C-alpha cells in the first residue's frame, strides 16, 4: 500500500497523552503538520518533547490519542511508513566496522536513493565530515557522531523528518548551516518536526510552535 502524499497533512497528532506511572508527562497534544512545513516542540527538559517524537516515530506508545501519517494510522512495522520517516532522536546507531563513508553509502543504497554515491559525497561535505570519511564511528567525537546522525537522515528519501535537538554539539556556523538545510528540506516538500531550545533555529525554520 502506498501513502497518499496529496493529503494536506503529512502528520496528524490528536489528543496525544503520555504518563510514566502516575506522573503525567503531556496531555491532549494536538496538531497537524503539512508537507513542506516545520513545527518546533519547545519547553523545559523533562516535559515530554523527546517522548512525543519517539511516539511519532513508533518506538514508544501513547497512553491515549492517535498519530496518523498521510491519513493512515501509524504502525511502526509498516515498511511503507518506515521508508517515509527519517529520524535522529538519540545518539546515532551505526555499523561499528564500517567507515563513515561506507556507513552512509549503505544507508543510501538500502533506501534506494537515486545517485546514491553522489548524494552521499555531497551530504558528507555538507555536514563537515570530509576529514573523517575513513574513520570508524566509534573513533568519532560526540560532535562528529551527531553530524553522522544528521547525515544518515539526509542521504535517504524522506517525507517526514524527526529531529531531537538537532542543533546540539554544533557551533555557530554549524547551526547556521542547519537552519539553511532544514529550510531546504521544507522547499523540497519534507515535513519537519523537531524539538529545540535554540531560538534562532526555531525562528529560522519553524512555521508553528507547540509548547510543552
Q: What is the pLDDT of residues 108-141, one digit of tens each?
A: 999 999 999 999 999 999 999 999 999 999 999 9
pLDDT band of residue 90 (cuts 50, 70, 90) is confident
With contact defined as beta carbons under 8 Å apart, do 134 and 144 qualify? no
Which single residue is written with the C-alpha cell 527519517? 86
Do you know the residue count of the chain?
212
Q: In the chain, what percentage of residues exceed pLDDT 90?
A: 80
Residue 2: CB atoms within 10 A of its CB come to: 7
Which single residue is written with the C-alpha cell 493512515? 72
* Beta-strand runs (E) in the chain: 9-20, 23-34, 38-42, 64-69, 72-73, 85-88, 160-164, 191-195, 208-211
Amino acid at each position: 500500500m502506498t501513502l497518499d502524499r496529496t493529503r494536506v497533512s503529512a502528520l496528524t497528532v490528536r489528543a496525544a497523552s503520555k504518563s510514566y506511572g502516575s506522573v503525567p508527562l503531556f496531555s491532549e497534544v494536538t496538531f497537524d503538520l503539512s508537507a513542506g512545513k516545520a513545527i518546533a516542540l519547545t519547553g523545559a527538559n523533562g516535559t515530554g518533547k523527546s517522548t512525543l517524537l519517539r511516539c511519532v516515530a513508533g518506538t514508544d506508545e501513547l497512553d491515549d490519542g492517535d498519530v496518523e501519517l498521510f491519513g493512515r494510522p501509524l504502525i511502526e512495522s509498516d515498511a511503507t511508513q518506515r521508508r517515509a520517516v527519517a529520524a535522529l532522536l538519540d545518539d546515532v546507531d551505526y555499523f561499528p566496522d564500517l567507515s563513515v563513508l561506507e556507513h552512509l553509502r549503505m544507508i543510501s543504497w538500502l533506501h534506494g536513493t537515486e545517485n546514491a554515491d553522489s548524494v552521499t559525497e555531497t551530504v558528507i561535505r555538507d555536514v563537515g565530515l570530509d576529514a573523517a570519511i575513513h574513520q570508524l564511528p566509534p573513533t568519532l567525537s560526540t560532535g562528529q557522531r551527531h553530524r553522522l546522525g544528521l547525515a544518515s537522515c539526509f542521504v535517504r528519501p524522506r517525507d517526514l523528518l524527526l529531529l531531537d535537538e538537532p542543533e546540539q554539539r554544533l557551533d555557530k556556523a554549524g547551526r547556521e548551516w542547519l537552519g539553511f538545510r532544514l529550510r531546504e528540506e521544507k522547499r523540497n516538500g519534507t515535513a519537519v518536526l523537531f524539538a529545540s531550545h535554540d531560538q534562532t533555529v526555531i525562528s529560522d525554520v519553524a512555521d508553528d510552535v507547540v509548547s510543552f
